[in-house]
Copies of this chain bind each other. A is one copy, B any other.
C-alpha cells in the first residue's frame, strides 16, 4: 500500500501550492504541519526530509521549492 505524506510549515503560499499537488495525486495524501505537529519533526528527519515543503511517496523524498530548512522547525 502506497503511503504519501506532505510535510509543510503552514505558510499560506506553500499550503496553496501543496493543495494543488495533493489534488493532482491519485492517492490520498496525509498533510503534516510541522509547526503544529512538532513531535513529527523527528519522523520527517528520519525519512530524509531536509526542508519543507516536502512530499514523501513510499519513502522517497521530494523537496518541492524551498520554504524553510527543517532545522528552523526544531
Interface residues of A (CB under 8 A from B): 2, 4, 17, 20-21, 24-27, 57-58, 60, 62-66
Cα A17 to Cα B65 with chains together (Å): 16
Residues of B within 8 A of A66 (CB): 63
Q: B25 to A57, Cβ gap below 8 A? A: no
Kindly state the separation between the CA atoms of A36 and B66 in the bound complex, as whole angstroms. Answer: 27
Query: Are B63 and A21 in contact, CB atoms less than 8 angstroms apart?
Result: no
Closest-by-CB residue of B relative to A25 is B24
A63 proximity list for chain B (CB < 8 A)? 64-66
Closest to A16 in B: B60
Most chain B beta carbons < 10 A, residue from A20, A21, A25: A21
